[in-house]
Amino acid sequence: MTPRRREALPARLFREPDHPADIFTAQVDGASRGNPGPASYAVIIRRPDGSVVYQLGKYLGRATNNVAEYFALITALDYCASSNIHRLRVRSDSELLVRQMQGRYKVKSASLKPLHERALRQAKSLAYFAIEHVPREMNSDADALANSALDRTGDVSASGVRVLSAASGGAKSGGSQTIRAKYKDGVLHPSEPLDVPDGAEVEIVVRPKAKD
């Protein structure tokens, strides 16, 4: 008897990894008091065993909640790029962010389009990427971290490492920003998105990070 041929499975944008245990998980969240208004975002990244490898709550300045959500996602992706993390699952309580990244919602906002394009480009560079919508109560850690940063109108890493934020108004208004970056293969990889217009010239002062 001739064996039945197995039907080909539809191609996926992001292929399932051979070893699911190798997947890191990121909780991301954005907060804004007013729309737009004072805004912040938070990222918590966990190793496959559930332990926290990175977490950040950062004051963003004046922005919409959706912009803050994208900054959180981009920060998570930037961290993965600079830390050799190739498999990432993102959890967010923002239906708009998740559905746009999944291609189910169109990106109509002019302020979100460049952020969406950047996030999509970074996500495609990973060996595996997935993003899923979760109820707010399942994202409470990231929500608390974002609101804590907003309360202080500064930023703080919940692991106890201080991360300096951009001056009020960001670089667009002439203020300065202090960020952390990892130098690898002749390239500086910022640990967070830069609030700098495309094509702008910046001055970089390199100062090695003090050992903890």
Sign of CA dihedral 80, 193, 142, 52: positive
Whole-angstrom distance, CA of residue 101 vs CA of residue 83: 22
Instruction: Please count the CA atoms within 13 angstroms of the CA of 26 that sit on its side-chain side.
Output: 28
Mind listing the pLDDT tens digit of every residue in the chain (212 residues)? 555 544 443 334 444 444 456 899 999 999 999 889 999 999 999 999 999 999 999 999 999 999 999 999 999 999 999 999 999 999 999 999 999 999 999 999 999 999 999 999 999 999 999 999 999 999 999 999 999 998 886 444 443 333 433 333 333 334 556 667 776 655 667 776 666 655 555 667 666 665 54
CA angle 43, 44, 47 (to 5 degrees): 140
Whole-angstrom distance, CA of residue 88 vs CA of residue 80: 8
pTM for the complete prediction? 0.67
Q: What is the DSSP letter of 167?
A: P
Give domain 20-159's CATH architecture.
2-Layer Sandwich (3.30)
Tell the residue number behind the tokens 């981009």, with chain if given: 74
Q: Are 197 and 172 in contact (CB under 8 A)?
A: yes
Map out the domains of the chain as residue ranges. 20-159
